[in-house]
Amino acid sequence: MPQFSQRASQLTSSLIREILAATQQPGVISFAGGLPATDLLPKLNWSSVPFDTEQYGMSEGEPALREAIARDAQKLGIRCTKDQVLVLSGSQQALDLVSKLFIDPATPVAMEAPTYLAALQSFRFFGADIRGLPTTATGLDCDALRALAREVTPAFTYLIPTFQNPSGLCYSRADREEVARTLDELNIPLIEDEPYRELCYDEVDRTPVCALVERTSWVYMGTFSKTLAPGLRVGYLIASPDLFPWFVKLKQAADLHSNRPGQWLIAQWLGTPAFDAHLQALQTAYRSKRDTMQAILERHFTDLADWQKPAGGLFFWLTLKQDCDTRQLLKTAMAAEKIAFMPGEPFYPTEGSVTGHLRFNFSLATPEQMEDGLGRLAGLIHQRMN
Amino acid sequence: MPQFSQRASQLTSSLIREILAATQQPGVISFAGGLPATDLLPKLNWSSVPFDTEQYGMSEGEPALREAIARDAQKLGIRCTKDQVLVLSGSQQALDLVSKLFIDPATPVAMEAPTYLAALQSFRFFGADIRGLPTTATGLDCDALRALAREVTPAFTYLIPTFQNPSGLCYSRADREEVARTLDELNIPLIEDEPYRELCYDEVDRTPVCALVERTSWVYMGTFSKTLAPGLRVGYLIASPDLFPWFVKLKQAADLHSNRPGQWLIAQWLGTPAFDAHLQALQTAYRSKRDTMQAILERHFTDLADWQKPAGGLFFWLTLKQDCDTRQLLKTAMAAEKIAFMPGEPFYPTEGSVTGHLRFNFSLATPEQMEDGLGRLAGLIHQRMN
């Protein structure tokens, strides 16, 4: 065998990959993935892609797209110009660039526990010493962050304050302000990931925490994969001026620049009435799917689990009333019922440290599949608990 | 300032970025870049991009494209199936993934000296201890590779055997076989980068060394950026079966997958008569540009430098007869004459260890610009040498 790097030892087989592969089998009802519904993607019009997008482009991204992104961010209160916008090959790429910029083996990094799996995996891959921060009903436990900062200096804090993945949590305005104040005070850079902000079904505060910090460095990550077309692989980051030039160099080293036809297409949509109408339609459709799943969960899971109806995003996050390793439960559910969901354990910095949670995606399954699949899953859990 | 990773210290300002930025000024004649000529790119037909390319895709790439790539590689003698093909966001991304898989701080890596700048930068960024291997008139100095292997065990050897960048060298068949034998014997993985293989103007052997190795692990890197459309950011790697699964995981972590509309478009071209005709036209046009520059160099540089007419690729590589730091020469040329070229020093693993080389791109400048720019540059060098 060739001699690999130390970090390659982190490239173990991913539970997610295995689960998603298993859900490809015929007859499986899956609540595991997080894909947008294909029939809710808009039909893009490729017919007038400009010829010059065939040539190499700028590492920073297409000027028109950067401007449109900056305009939208300014409306959210983020103090930025287009010169702070870096177009990426999906916002996934921001995780890679953030890791490269900040993480050496054993570098402390703070994240919500539970948190987004791909972020966990990326930071782990680069050797981070990941410190989980508990969340509350309304946001982040800032006392825990302060306590952590007395022990180590995290290179950054990665947060998903709006429709958090997997928990669905949306920080209150007061919590957003407190987090911003705390990070400013502790001088810890903020990496704020906001893939789901437009998938909003109820009135909630969604002010980016990046718009509230006053002194510390920050990175705001966004994507068009949940609203327009994930297959284009176009996302972005906006960074405070001290960080931005570093990210441009990292982007250039990673893949020179993101594909230009995709950038051009997205620039055609942003800020148009058609895009606003599309977002409205998307919200209406997903709200209805969420409400359907909520009603079905109330029927089948009320005595089994606790959960909050999520105000946005694509997931329900359940806490079973009786403890259970949901990775084992998944195996049984797949084998006995061909039902897939995401077990909660992998979302925690120390896998297996917290058990008894399940994540259900509600964007893909039909109401019939929800009723059938969740009903049978509830039956299975009842059996196991007796 | 935030606390960055150790590797971030390698993200110093890049000479290349500075040069390319400088060439954007009006009135500059540039031989510095390596862009394909925009007017030689084919007009792509976007009108029937399938709707389903808007959804997330597979990390490995689009099945139809992987198959087409594997078919072409098999014709070159590479023993592979489509299951060993990984579509990338430009072949630049292969450098990033190779670095991640193999390089820890101080990991020895072998490369030709001079070699491709972006590869040098990527491997350096991850902390590699880069060992330059001298080339000969017909290929690689395999004795130097053997001597190196007695001292350290390189994690891999990175080579560009066909129309090497920057030197234009194309390994002879005998040298390709000797390199393959040597790598097999020493059990050193081969990373073979072949961006220019289709830009071929004379009859030369272009058998990939990857097709000749029998035992050691290998990665073959290819791109469509020189032949179809760099703006799509679609390249690929093909890897020996022991390495392939690692690269899939690395790709997924980096950006999930490459943009699907671009993959679809390229799959429409590969293996078609239209693509073959396009390649013929490209070769004819670039051959003519090469011959023009050769004639102009013969007029102005015969007493100043030695060079080989390149059989392919996009560059001439000159060795000045009188030693000179060409980074300084560039500064003077830009200031006094608004002429840009690539100084040779940065292409060497130890920058500044070898001086007196210049790289001229011949794909972009018009014959008039070549005559004017190279004539004036030769005049400047004459002045400095007296």
- What is residue B33's predicted lDDT score, i.e. its pLDDT? 86
- Between CA B59 and CA B250 the distance in angstroms is 10
B-chain residues near A95 (CB < 8 A): 253
Residue B15 has pLDDT above 80, yes or no: no
CATH at residue A15: 3.90.1150.10
Q: Does B157 score more than 70 pLDDT?
A: yes
Q: Is the pLDDT of residue B123 over 90?
A: yes
Out of A100, A242, A255, closest to residue B89 by CB? A255
More confident residue, B33 or A186: A186
Backbone φ/ψ region at A256: left (φ over 0), alpha (ψ -120 to 50), beta: left
User: Would the CB atoms of A89 and B259 count as touching at under 8 Å?
Assistant: yes
Q: What is the pLDDT of residue A353?
A: 85
Is A90 within 8 Å of B255 when comparing Cβ atoms?
Answer: yes
Report CB contact under 8 Å: A46, B51: no
Amino acid at B103: I
Query: At which of B245, B271, B297 does a domain end?
Result: B271
Task: Clarify whether residues B227 and B356 are in a common domain.
Answer: no
Q: Do B3 and A102 lie within an 8 Å CB cutoff?
A: yes
When pLDDT is cut at 50, 70 and 90, the band that residue A135 belongs to is very high
Please give the pLDDT value at position A385. Answer: 77
* A257 shares its domain with A214: yes
pLDDT bucket at A25, cuts 50 / 70 / 90? confident
- Give the minimum alpha-carbon distance from B319 to chain A in angstroms, rounded to a whole number: 28
What is the model's pLDDT at position B193?
Answer: 98
Q: Are residues B248 and B318 in the same domain?
A: no
Distance from CA of B105 to the nearest CA of A (A): 9
Q: B60 and B37, same structural domain? A: no
How distant is the Cα of B35 from the closest Cα of chain A, in angstroms?
A: 7
- Tell me the residue type at B112: E
Specify the DSSP class assigned to residue A40: G
Return the residue in A256, A258, A265 with the most chain B beta carbons within 10 A, the one to mutate for interface testing.
Answer: A256
Residue B48 forms part of a structural domain: no
For chain B, what percent of residues have pLDDT higher than 90? 91
Q: Which residue, B242, B271, B300, sits at the end of a domain?
A: B271
pLDDT in tens, A178-223: 999 999 999 999 999 999 999 999 999 999 999 999 999 999 999 9
Shared domain for A203 and A259, answered yes or no, is yes
Sorting pLDDT into bands at 50, 70 and 90, what band is A12? confident
Please say if the pLDDT value at position B219 is more than 70.
yes
Are both B232 and B289 inside the same structural domain?
A: no
B347-361 per-position pLDDT tens digit: 999 877 899 999 999
What backbone torsions phi and psi does residue B227 show, to the nearest 5 degrees?
-120, -35
Residues B181 and B317 in one domain: no
- Rounded to an integer, the average pLDDT of B165-192 is 98
Inspect the interface and report whether the beta carbons of A261 and B233 lie closer than 8 Å: no
pLDDT at residue B372, rounded to an integer: 97
pLDDT of residue A13: 65
Indicate whether A150 belongs to any domain. yes
In this prediction, residue A255 carries a pLDDT of 95
CATH of the domain at A185: 3.40.640.10
At residue A33, the pLDDT reads: 85
Residues of chain B with C-beta less than 8 angstroms from the C-beta of A252: 14, 17
> How far off is chain A from B239, nearest CA to CA, in Å?
13
Mean pLDDT over B263-289 rounds to 96
Distance from CA of B231 to the nearest CA of A (A): 4
Which residue range(s) make up the domain with A230?
Answer: 56-271
Residue B12: per-residue pLDDT: 72
Which residues of chain B have a CB within 8 Å of the CB of A156? 2
- With beta carbons under 8 A apart, name residues in chain A contacting B219: none
Average pLDDT of the residues of chain B: 95
In a domain, A96, yes or no: yes
Q: For residue range B81-94, what is the model confidence (pLDDT) as tens digits?
A: 999 999 999 999 99
Contacts of B249 in chain A (CB under 8 A): 11, 14, 17
A-B C-beta contacts closer than 8 Å: 216
Residues A113 and A259 in one domain: yes
pLDDT at position A66 = 98
Residue A50 lies in a domain: no
Would A249 be classed as within a structural domain? yes
For chain A, what is the radius of gyration of the CA atoms? 21
Determine the average pLDDT of the residues in A115-125.
95
CB burial readout A287-304, b (16+ within 10 A) else e:
bebbebbeebbeebbeeb
- Once rounded to an integer, what is the mean pLDDT over residues B99-114? 98
Interval A240-259: pLDDT, tens: 999 999 999 999 999 999 99
What's residue B322's pLDDT?
Answer: 93
**B316 and B293 in one domain?**
yes
Indicate if B92 and B116 belong to the same structural domain.
yes
Strand, coil or helix: what is B4? coil
Nearest to A54 among B4, B104, B229 (CB): B229
Instruction: Using an 8 Å CB-CB cutoff, list chain A residues near B125.
Output: 100, 253
pLDDT for position A99: 98
Closest CA to B163 of B190, B134, B201, B118: B201
Nearest residue of chain B to residue A155 (CA atoms)? B3
Q: Among B251, B199, B245, which Cα is nearest to B225's?
A: B199
pTM of the model: 0.96
Considering the domain architecture, whether residues B67 and B94 belong to the same structural domain is answered as yes
- pLDDT value at residue B13: 65
- Contact residues on chain B for A104, CB-CB shorter than 8 A: 5-7
B20 pLDDT band, cuts 50/70/90, is confident
Residue B205 in any domain: the answer is yes
Yes or no, beta carbons of A54 and B231 under 8 Å apart: yes
Residue B184 shares a structural domain with residue B116? yes
* Residue that terminates a domain, selected from B271, B292, B319: B271
The verdict on residue B49 lying in a domain is no
Cβ contact (<8 Å) for B54 and A38? yes
Report the C-alpha gap between A73 and A70 in whole angstroms: 5
3-state secondary structure of B97: helix
Say if residues A287 and A201 touch (Cβ distance below 8 Å).
yes
Share of chain A above pLDDT 90, in %: 91
Domain count across chain A:
2
Nearest to B233 among A90, A217, A259 (CB): A259
Do the chains contact at A253 and B118, CB–CB below 8 Å? yes
pLDDT of B214 strictly over 80: yes
- Residue to substitute from B7, B10, B11, interface A, most A β-carbons within 10 A: B11
What is the distance between the alpha carbons of residues B201 and A159, in angstroms, rounded to a whole number?
54
Q: A254, B96: Cβ pair inside 8 Å? A: yes
Q: How far is B301 from chain A (nearest CA, A)?
A: 31
Q: Which residues from A are below 8 Å from B230, CB to CB?
A: 54-56
**Domain-embedded: residue A47:** no
CA-based nearest distance B385→chain A, Å: 37
